[in-house]
């Protein structure tokens, strides 16, 4: 492993590997991902690993582990039974289906988050999100204060149109029953749920559907009739990975949106309402006590501090930190924008009252860059492919090594398999 002179501590590493190239025929027939062991050649210690085959029973796939540090440069991979007799592997990441449209996620036996996909809400979201000191770092739900649609960590957009020149559908706000100007993200199915010592993975399919227009025949909403069915504008594949880096938290979100109608236009703002394109796609609402107006701090990768220097500015990452409870420990939530994302580094809709969103569409001057709408053509096979990493840490951005963590994500060590 070549770290190119950079420091590297407790970060995920993944490599594509085809065990068919390295195993004897007899070993191939008995192969199991659970029989793979990684041993640090310098210390002889075992490093827990997790193999994800490209398809069931396939020998080709991705091998992942949490690498201890840049001082560990050579690792031996062994395959076979009883190679590590007596070694107590960590429980890792476990995902439990509660049966009430929530997946509960545990890391080494500790509750970290729930993935809520109940259609009673306007979109799926992660809540609560438990930080390194055992406290929830996002705003509590239910909340009857400002912006009740700011829930945990989620994906949303304020302006999605199915045709050029037509007003967009609002997939950001709570929405109103029977109002076709609003829409909902609706979970369809989970395509994969994976657990293991290194990470837990949730893969799902969602649709972005316009609300049905209702004929309001009575004060009793149960008697309203559908006047016009809402359109499905986009389908989405979403992958969430929760890494085992306790006590810190590391959550990767990968969303791929593609049009179902001929063309989707995001953030065109044909009505010149400004606020519609101000919103999304990555949305976080920090705990009330962490807000800047409550004594917290906003910083970004370019040296900006507080809302006045971070709102609208382009940055590779933004870190929002403060006391998780009044007088309690300082935790930070760092949201990171991947270089492969459209218009990287993105602008940030991050506010002193606790909203925290990456936005590559808004272009209000003088703070925001030249961004503007995005056009997705079904005929061209266009997709909006976005990757974000959420890093929850102790202390401020220096103590949490946020800058270093961004580099560890986007420029992992070079790996040679011999």
Share of the chain above pLDDT 90, in %: 71
pLDDT tens sequence across 28-58: 888 888 889 999 998 999 999 999 999 887 8
Mean pLDDT over the full length of the chain: 91
pLDDT by residue (tens digit) across 52-103? 999 887 899 999 999 999 999 999 999 876 555 555 667 899 999 999 999 9
Query: Residue 280: its pLDDT value, please?
Result: 77
Q: What per-residue confidence (pLDDT) applies to 143?
A: 76
- Are β-strands 183-194 and 199-210 bridged in parallel, bridged antiparallel, or unpaired? antiparallel
* Digit-coded pLDDT (tens) for 380-405: 999 999 999 999 999 999 999 999 99
Ordered domains of the chain (ranges, CATH): 9-79 (no CATH), 93-410 (2.70.98)
378 and 263 in contact (C-beta within 8 Å)? yes
Percent of the chain with pLDDT over 70: 96
Q: Which residue has the higher pLDDT, 215 or 262?
A: 262
First to last CA, the chain: 11
The two three-digit tokens of residue 286, written as one number: 């920090």
Closest listed residue to residue 391, CA positions, set 365, 409, 411, 417: 409
pLDDT bucket at 284, cuts 50 / 70 / 90: very high
pLDDT range class, residue 123, cuts 50, 70, 90: very high
Token pair of 370 as six digits: 């030249």
């Amino acid at each position: 492993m070549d770290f190119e002179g950079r420091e590297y501590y407790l970060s995920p590493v993944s490599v594509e590997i085809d065990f068919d190239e390295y195993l004897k025929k007899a070993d191939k027939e008995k192969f199991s991902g659970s029989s793979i062991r990684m041993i640090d050649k310098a210390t002889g210690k075992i490093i827990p690993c997790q193999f994800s085959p490209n398809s069931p029973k396939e020998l080709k796939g991705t091998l992942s582990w949490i690498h201890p540090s840049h001082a560990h440069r050579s690792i031996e991979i062994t395959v076979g039974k009883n190679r590590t007799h007596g070694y107590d592997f960590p429980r890792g990441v476990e995902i439990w289906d509660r049966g009430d449209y929530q997946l509960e996620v545990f890391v080494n036996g500790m509750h970290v988050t729930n993935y809520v996909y109940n259609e009673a809400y306007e979109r799926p979201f992660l809540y609560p999100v438990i930080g390194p000191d055992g406290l929830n770092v996002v705003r509590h739900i239910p909340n009857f204060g400002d912006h009740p649609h700011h829930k945990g960590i989620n994906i949303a957009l304020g302006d999605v149109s199915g045709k050029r020149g037509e007003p967009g559908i609002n997939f950001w706000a709570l929405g109103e029953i029977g109002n076709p100007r609003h829409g909902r993200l609706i979970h369809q199915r989970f395509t994969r749920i994976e657990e293991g010592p290194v990470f837990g993975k949730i893969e799902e399919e969602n649709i972005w559907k316009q609300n049905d227009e209702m004929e309001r025949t009575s004060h009793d909403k149960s008697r309203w009739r559908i006047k016009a069915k809402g359109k499905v504008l986009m389908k989405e594949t979403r992958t969430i990975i929760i890494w085992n880096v306790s006590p810190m938290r590391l959550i990767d979100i990968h969303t791929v949106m593609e049009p179902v109608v001929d063309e989707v236009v995001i953030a065109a703002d044909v009505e010149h309402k400004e606020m519609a394109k101000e919103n999304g796609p990555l949305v976080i609402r920090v705990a009330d006590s962490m807000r800047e107006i409550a004594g917290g701090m906003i910083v970004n990768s370019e040296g900006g501090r507080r809302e006045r220097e971070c709102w609208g500015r382009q940055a590779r990452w933004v870190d929002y930190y403060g006391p998780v409870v009044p007088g309690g420990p300082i935790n930070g939530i760092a949201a990171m924008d991947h270089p492969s994302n459209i218009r990287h580094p993105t602008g940030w809709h991050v506010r002193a009252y606790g909203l925290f969103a990456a936005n590559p569409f808004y272009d209000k001057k003088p703070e925001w860059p030249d961004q503007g709408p995005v056009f997705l053509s079904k005929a061209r096979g266009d997709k909006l492919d976005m990757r974000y990493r959420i890093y929850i840490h102790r202390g401020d951005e220096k103590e949490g090594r946020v800058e270093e963590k961004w580099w560890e994500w986007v420029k992992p060590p070079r790996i040679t398999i011999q």
